[in-house]
A and B are shown apart, each in its own frame.
Chain A
């Protein structure tokens, strides 16, 4: 009896979880759907038939293509930088004692809790007063700034659960400090690093507010969309969103399969 009650509760929660997933993805579903809309009028607001035209004309809007490419390049570069320096700091915080650790923790916390708007505005003032021209580089700087803390946090969490004797064992077996890091530490914290990387990539691809301050004349995918939405988004945007989404799904599936194979 009680066991049956339990199972019912669990089943309801299972369904509920799926409802939330569907809810979270529903605008994505609409976005995907309208990427196939054979719209005739200027705005892409009502279903007018199926077409693959927008896939064929995906790159017809050249500045949209440029914006997407910018976004991908910026996300990739900032993710690499973020992961490198964030992992380093995560290691320092998780493995070492040093002066200023408390302050560093506070900075990490501050970077997470600074409103984006404030961050964007203050960065812009900095660049302007420092005579730094704003372009893809400044966007990358900003994106690293707001995502580095997330990498630090995930890597540190991973590091503190990592048995320190693994590293000592490597040293004991003749590995240099760098060799130890490369062959033992890094592979062990890789899941944390990957999680951090995924998060920073998503945050970068996602960002509008901060980017809008520091972009100069460089347009990213979100910026382009915000511009375009004022007059109706062309279906190519849906298609690009769909493709990014699809690649994400593929990575997820690949991950899951790989994980299953590992166990």
Chain B
């Protein structure tokens, strides 16, 4: 009985993840090697060329997605770290309140937030319209339909997922270790650079993981905030899947995307010197 306990505890999740994650992925892998069209049907032909074709056609969008995802992740890191730092070390008794405030927008739906941005940033909307009215902005100034808007939207939407893990890591840093560094002649900056920052790296790692992946694959921000040259791989997969019913291409692209992300994560983990990615990610 004692021996069985962990298996019984794990069983429901195993089943859930197995049936709804592993099996569909396997099915998708198989579809990605088929050929045909939606009207006449698809057949398994082991055409690995689906991958090269898809990549050939959509390398721009894939690279762009990685770029946007990367830019947004860097932006989140730069913007979010100081916040996590302040809350962890100076938040005092109100830490959880600050964290909750950061999370609050998440209760009103991703799309609604993005739409609100679209509304707020509208060329002649309450913000820019007013400023233009006062002559503070040129008439044709706009933010929407630009790369900036898309990357900004991604940054906005995933920021809390960067802040939370960094906060958790920083909160675990023993303040006495910082004092020890200062005691050993480190200035505040040096103490931060040599002690606090390295100790928070597992949090940074988790944060990057939790933001880079969804940001890179996200179709919504490009769709709502982007313009003509901001199409991301997520939009392409959506089009191929839903509009063109080109399931093999859509599947091949999905797998390529996941593979690229995974490889990226492992390289990144290496660079950080994290021996065990899974563990770091799990923490």
Residue of A nearest to B121 (CB): A27
**How extensive is the interface on chain B, given as a class?**
35 or more
Question: A156: which of B125, B160, B282 is its contact (CB, 8 Å)?
Answer: B282
> What mask results when residues 195 to 224 of chain B are scored 1 for a CB within 8 Å of chain A, else 0?
000000000000001100110111110001
A89 CA / B104 CA spacing, docked (Å): 27
Asked whether B83 lies within 8 Å of A106 as measured between CB atoms, the reply is: no
Chain A residues with CB under 8 A of B257: 115, 118
Asked whether A208 lies within 8 Å of B110 as measured between CB atoms, the reply is: yes
Chain A residues with CB under 8 A of B168: 157
Question: Does B254 lie at the interface of the complex (its beta carbon under 8 Å from any beta carbon of A)?
Answer: yes
Chain A residues with CB under 8 A of B209: 112-113
Question: Does B63 lie at the interface of the complex (its beta carbon under 8 Å from any beta carbon of A)?
Answer: no
Asked whether B125 lies within 8 Å of A104 as measured between CB atoms, the reply is: no
Question: Does B268 lie at the interface of the complex (its beta carbon under 8 Å from any beta carbon of A)?
Answer: no
Instruction: Give the number of residues in A that approach B within 8 Å (Cβ atoms).
Output: 94
A222 CA / B220 CA spacing, docked (Å): 12
Chain B residues with CB under 8 A of A263: 93
Asked whether A107 lies within 8 Å of B112 as measured between CB atoms, the reply is: no
Asked whether A117 lies within 8 Å of B101 as measured between CB atoms, the reply is: no
> What mask results when residues 7 to 36 of chain A are scored 1 for a CB within 8 Å of chain B, else 0?
001100110110011011111101100100
Chain A residues with CB under 8 A of B159: 20, 24
Question: Does A225 lie at the interface of the complex (its beta carbon under 8 Å from any beta carbon of B)?
Answer: yes
* Given A145-B20, A208-B220, also A26-B108 (CB < 8 A): no
Question: Does B46 lie at the interface of the complex (its beta carbon under 8 Å from any beta carbon of A)?
Answer: no
Residue of B nearest to A153 (CB): B282
Question: Does A6 lie at the interface of the complex (its beta carbon under 8 Å from any beta carbon of B)?
Answer: yes
* Given A114-B258, A123-B20, A125-B28, also A229-B156 (CB < 8 A): no
A20 CA / B115 CA spacing, docked (Å): 19
Question: Does B86 lie at the interface of the complex (its beta carbon under 8 Å from any beta carbon of A)?
Answer: yes
Question: Does A189 lie at the interface of the complex (its beta carbon under 8 Å from any beta carbon of B)?
Answer: no
Q: Which residues of B contact A (CB under 8 A)?
A: 5-7, 9-10, 12-14, 16-25, 27-28, 31, 79-80, 82-83, 85-87, 90, 93-94, 96-98, 100-113, 115-117, 119-120, 122, 125-126, 129, 156, 159-160, 168, 188, 209-210, 213-214, 216-220, 224, 234, 237-238, 241, 247, 250-251, 254, 257-258, 261-262, 265, 277-279, 281-283
Top-4 shortest CB links A-B: A115-B217, A27-B116, A96-B6, A122-B24
Q: Which residues of A contact B (CB under 8 A)?
A: 6, 9-10, 13-14, 16-17, 20-21, 23-28, 30-31, 34, 45-47, 84-86, 88-89, 91-93, 95-98, 100, 102, 104-119, 121-123, 125-126, 129, 141-142, 144-145, 148, 152-153, 156-157, 177, 198, 202-203, 205-209, 221-222, 225-226, 229, 233, 237, 241, 244-245, 247-249, 252, 255-256, 259-260, 263
